[in-house]
Amino acid sequence: MALSNTQTATLETGADSKVAGHFKRNRFAYTAGAFALAVGAALRIYLDTMGFTVGTDYYSEEFQTYWMPLLYGEIIFMGSFTVILSVYFWMTRETDASSISKELELSRYWKLLGVFTVMGVWAGAIASNAVESDAAWHQVTIRDTDFTPTHIIIFYFALPFLTAMLIPTFIWTHTRIPAYMNKISLPFLAVVVGILMIMPNYGFNEWGHTFFYAEELFAAPIHWGFVFLGWSLFFLVPLAVQLFTNMGRLIAETTAEDYNQHSA
């Protein structure tokens, strides 16, 4: 009878509790995702407002005033973000995987999925609203230096920020989740290394454009590196298999334990 009353109460408040639980588990994804969209929108508005008025000549005083401080700020922010978080996660790492309960481990998987959700939101904003802007920019303005408004926002911040998020996340995952502790996930590592190596390709791309390709041809050989390294994102598929397999196992085990406790 008591069990029946408990089940009835659960059904009566189930909808509200599920919604509340959903937002509680995913509050990081919602909050950080909204912040990422706000930052992306702010940079886009700044680019549209200032790009053609004070951004066409690197050697002008206006460019040094309105664009180079943004570049320096981005580099300082990303460097500090990556180093501080990486060092903190490593210094506070857990060494005893057996001390982590199944419930805590499962909650950390939810947090990890939340982080990947934020990265997906950020990558989607870059792909849909930024990358083609650079090609369009060079079609209508003179390619003078490596420092242009589109480069400062895309090449020196938007894309590298994915790496700035991935490196601390890689360390956190391998020091907080038992299935990844004391070992390395090859799919996860491939994603991190692939996105990281896109950055040296920026230099190759600009070198090629300076000496060989004035036009922004999509199929130009100097762009092949972006495609090849972008394929590292395919490793998200086996990584997702790893994550969901482990989550499914944990959900089954914790559900069985809860059922046995209630049955007893």
Is the confidence at residue 195, as pLDDT, over 60?
yes
What mean pLDDT is predicted for residues 212-221? 72
Task: Assign 215 a pLDDT band (cuts: 50, 70, 90).
Answer: low
What the block records as the tokens of 127 is 């792909």
Report the chain's C-alpha Rg in angstroms: 23
Phi-psi region of 182 (alpha: psi -120 to 50; beta: other; left: phi over 0): left
Which of 91-100, 193-202, 211-220 tops mean pLDDT? 91-100
**Cβ proximity of 38 and 125 under 8 Å:** no
Q: Identify the pLDDT of residue 98.
A: 87
Query: Which pTM was predicted?
Result: 0.84
The Cα-based distances of 127 to 93, 131, 139 in angstroms read 34, 6, 19
What mean pLDDT is predicted for residues 210-230? 76
Q: What is the pLDDT of residues 68-88, one digit of tens each?
A: 999 999 999 999 999 999 999
Domains of the chain, CATH where assigned: 29-263 (1.20.1050.50)
Q: Using the structure block, give the residue that is written with the tokens 């947090």.
A: 111
Distance CA 229, CA 225 (A): 6
Is the confidence at residue 214, as pLDDT, over 50?
yes
Which of 116-125, 159-168, 205-214 tops mean pLDDT? 159-168
Exposure string for 48-61, b = 16+ CB within 10 A, e = fewer: eebbeebbbeeeee
What mean pLDDT is predicted for residues 193-216? 79
Task: Assign 262 a pLDDT band (cuts: 50, 70, 90).
Answer: low
